């Protein structure tokens, strides 16, 4: 069922002529396949990675192409995968030899054999990703679309080339990829596929966390991440990936008191933050900001539902979750932990009268992340009452203004004590000891409370006074 259609305009870049020539020299058939072709038909921003499949050695073709390209770029070979990569300007050319894969149910690794183009298209995940354009000089740009992928692109459908049960069972990551593409492209997953995912969801256990996390990040990066996360939830996959989130789902009622559904609330918050920022880690913080609410949920007949300390508990949960998903355990994780931990701080501020000292403490604790924290809090407003929404936003605006004001005056961000430990030791002829820490802490407190400005002179006077009050005698030898 090969469609006799040519799409030379998709291959207008001169590199395709080079590819075509090199393949001809080697006597190989070669095709552009996958994301590049799909995105051409979608009129999407053309991506910089181009997948090329050769009927024969992909690595051999990569070497020949690199030889023909100006500057003879390096060929990076991934032996285990039988693939190779060549960079050309801002393009990344990925080469693979056409292959047939056969899977047995109990092994994750397929038996891989050389195959035809059709074999290779069969092992692709979706019809829209199996579209291939010929690089043969005699039929340059001919579309090979054995599964009606173009039709699916037009209709906005995610469909597998083979029986969904086979495609998903062969590589269960494809279940998440289906959702990822549906979310990215605003497509609908065809019903049989969706059902198959529901049936096979348990097999996601055999997929490595790194691969899952890659797809999760692509879902997280979409304009409306709730679409992807909603599908992950609906299919039951989310329970294997982020059970902490699933635990937030549901509304309980006792003595006529209900709490909100913190799962759907969280997804709204993530959508809101996606409007405000591309920062992936801030999006993670939004996704996880309420995870402590499941383990801390209590019902108190006097006050209703409470989630005391959920910020602390939630931030403690981040490490295990990051470790499990092979997310970085470095300062990015610390950033997420900190934002989860502090996620309610500005809310308290905006409810009450905002004192300068409370704002100084917020800036002291949040440091350079204080703006991100404010963005998170604003995204956290999901009330459907427009009056309330307006009031909350206005209150946060006031907090932001206060932050700027206090910052200009007191420079609390990345606080450095205006009086050093050495100066304290010298002032009272002290050896290192607990007194130094105590005086330093007192100075910091006095600054945060607004009793003294964040300046050396007043801080030194305060230090002398404090020392005397502690029964220390000032060193009179030196000024
Ligand atoms: P994007 O670059 O936006 O992620 P893409 O379609 O290029 O989209 P890649 O993950 O780069 O996605 O994969 C390139 C191509 O390789 C896909 O279009 C698809 O044909 C094939 N492919 C990738 N992963 C799988 C998989 N798990 N199973 C089957 N085919 C896959
Ligand atoms: Mg790609």
Which tens digits make up the pLDDT trace of 262-320? 999 999 999 999 999 999 999 999 999 999 999 999 999 989 999 999 999 999 999 99
CA–CA distances in Å: residue 347 to residues 121, 143, 342, 350: 53, 56, 10, 5
- Residues 175/158, Cβ–Cβ less than 8 Å: no
Task: Using the mean position of ligand 1's atoms as its centre, give its distance from the Cα of residue 34 in Å.
Answer: 6
81-87, long-range: CB within 8 Å, 24+ apart, which pairs? Answer: 82/58, 82/112, 83/58, 83/59, 84/58, 84/59, 86/62
For the chain, give the percent of residues with pLDDT over 90: 81
Integer Cα distance of 62 and 67 in angstroms: 9
Which tens digits make up the pLDDT trace of 450-476? 899 999 999 999 999 999 999 998 887
From the centroid of its chain, how far is CA 137? 42
Within this chain, domains 8-155 and 157-241 share the same CATH topology? no
CATH number of 8-155: 3.30.460.10
Beta bridge partners of 111: 102
Nearest CA residue ID for atom 2, ligand 1: 35
Domain parsing of the chain, residue ranges:
8-155, 157-241, 421-469
- 187 burial class (0-12, 13-18, 19+ CB within 10 angstroms)? buried
| Residue showing tokens 């959702």 | 179
From the centroid of its chain, how far is CA 272? 15
- Residues 230/293, Cβ–Cβ less than 8 Å: no
Least confident residue range of 38-52, 58-72, 322-336: 38-52
Ligand 1 pocket, CB under 6 A: 34-35, 47, 49, 51, 124-125, 129, 171, 173-174, 177
Nearest CA residue ID for atom 24, ligand 1: 125
Integer Cα distance of 417 and 364 in angstroms: 12
Taking residues 432-451, what's their average pLDDT?
Answer: 92
Integer Cα distance of 94 and 49 in angstroms: 7
Ligand 1 atom closest to Cα of residue 173: 27
From the centroid of its chain, how far is CA 297? 27
- Three-state secondary structure readout of 120-181: HHHCCCCHHHCCEEECCHHHCCEEECCCCHHHHHHHCEECCCCCHHHHHHHCCHHHHHHHHH
Which tens digits make up the pLDDT trace of 3-13? 479 999 999 99
- Residues 123/100, Cβ–Cβ less than 8 Å: yes
Ligand 1 atom closest to Cα of residue 211: 27
pLDDT-derived band at 47, boundaries 50, 70, 90:
confident
Nearest ligand by distance to the CA of 129: 1
Nearest ligand by distance to the CA of 125: 1
Nearest CA residue ID for atom 27, ligand 1: 174
Q: Which two tokens stand for residue 134?
A: 């010929």
pLDDT (0 to 100) of residue 479: 52
SS3 238: helix
Beta bridge partners of 6: 142
- Residues 288/380, Cβ–Cβ less than 8 Å: no
Ligand 1 atom closest to Cα of residue 36: 7
In 224-376, which ranges are E strands? 253-254, 257-258, 298-300, 304-306
Nearest CA residue ID for atom 21, ligand 1: 124
Which tens digits make up the pLDDT trace of 374-397? 999 999 999 999 999 998 898 899
Integer Cα distance of 365 and 368 in angstroms: 9
Integer Cα distance of 463 and 460 in angstroms: 5
Integer Cα distance of 50 and 29 in angstroms: 16
Taking residues 156-185, what's their average pLDDT?
Answer: 97
Rounded to 10 deg, the angle between the 434-449 and 356-366 helix axes is: 130
pLDDT (0 to 100) of residue 478: 55
**Phi and psi of 85, rounded to 5°?**
-130, 140
Name the helix (H) or strand (E) containing 315.
Answer: helix 310-324
Cβ neighbours of residue 181 closer than 8 Å, sequence gap 6 or more:
126, 128, 129, 158, 187
Task: Using the mean position of ligand 1's atoms as its centre, give its distance from the Cα of residue 181 in Å.
Answer: 10
Nearest CA residue ID for atom 7, ligand 1: 35
Ligand 1 atom closest to Cα of residue 218: 4
- In CATH, the architecture of 157-241 is Orthogonal Bundle (1.10)
């Amino acid at each position: 069922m090969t469609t006799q259609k040519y799409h030379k305009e998709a291959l207008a870049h001169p590199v395709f002529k080079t590819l075509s020539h090199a393949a001809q020299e080697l006597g190989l058939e070669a095709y552009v396949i996958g994301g590049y072709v799909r995105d051409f038909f979608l009129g999407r921003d053309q991506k910089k990675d181009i997948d090329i499949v050769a009927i024969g050695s992909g690595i051999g073709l990569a070497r020949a192409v690199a030889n023909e390209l100006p500057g003879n770029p390096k060929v990076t070979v991934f032996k285990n995968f039988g693939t190779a990569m060549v960079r050309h300007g801002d393009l990344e050319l990925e080469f693979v030899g056409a292959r047939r894969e056969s899977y047995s149910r109990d092994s994750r690794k397929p038996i891989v054999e050389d195959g035809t183009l059709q074999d290779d298209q069969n092992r692709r995940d979706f019809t829209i990703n199996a579209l291939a354009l010929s690089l043969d000089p005699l039929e340059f740009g001919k579309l090979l679309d054995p599964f009606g992928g173009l039709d699916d692109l037009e209709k906005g459908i995610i469909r597998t080339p083979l029986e969904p049960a086979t495609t998903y069972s062969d590589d269960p990551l494809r279940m998440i990829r289906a959702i990822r593409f549906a979310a990215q492209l605003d497509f609908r997953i065809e019903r049989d596929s969706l059902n198959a995912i529901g049936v096979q969801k348990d097999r996601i256990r055999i997929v490595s966390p790194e691969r899952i996390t890659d797809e999760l990040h692509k879902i997280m990066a979409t304009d409306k991440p709730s679409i992807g996360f909603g599908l992950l939830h609906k299919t039951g996959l989310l329970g294997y990936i982020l059970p902490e989130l699933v635990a937030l789902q549901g509304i309980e009622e006792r003595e006529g008191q209900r709490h909100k559904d913190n799962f759907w609330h969280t997804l709204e918050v993530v959508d809101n933050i996606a409007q405000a920022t591309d920062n992936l880690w801030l999006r993670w913080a939004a996704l996880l900001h309420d995870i402590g609410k499941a383990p801390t949920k209590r019902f108190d007949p006097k006050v209703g539902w409470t989630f005391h300390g959920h910020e602390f508990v939630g931030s403690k949960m981040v490490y295990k979750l990051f470790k499990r998903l092979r997310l970085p355990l470095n300062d990015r994780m610390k950033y997420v932990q900190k934002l989860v931990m502090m996620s309610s701080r500005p809310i308290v501020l905006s409810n009450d009268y905002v004192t300068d000292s409370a704002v100084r403490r917020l800036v002291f604790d949040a440091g350079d992340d204080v703006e991100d924290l404010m963005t998170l809090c604003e995204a956290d407003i999901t009330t459907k009452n427009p009056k309330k929404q307006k009031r909350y936003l206005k209150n946060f605006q006031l907090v932001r203004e206060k932050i700027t004001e206090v910052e200009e005056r007191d420079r609390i961000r990345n606080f450095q004590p205006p009086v050093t430990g050495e100066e304290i030791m010298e002032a009272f002829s002290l050896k290192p000891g607990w007194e130094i820490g105590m005086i330093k802490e007192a100075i910091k407190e006095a600054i945060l409370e607004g009793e003294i400005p964040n300046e050396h002179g007043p801080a030194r006077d305060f230090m002398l006074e404090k020392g005397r009050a502690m029964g220390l005698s000032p060193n009179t030898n030196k000024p």
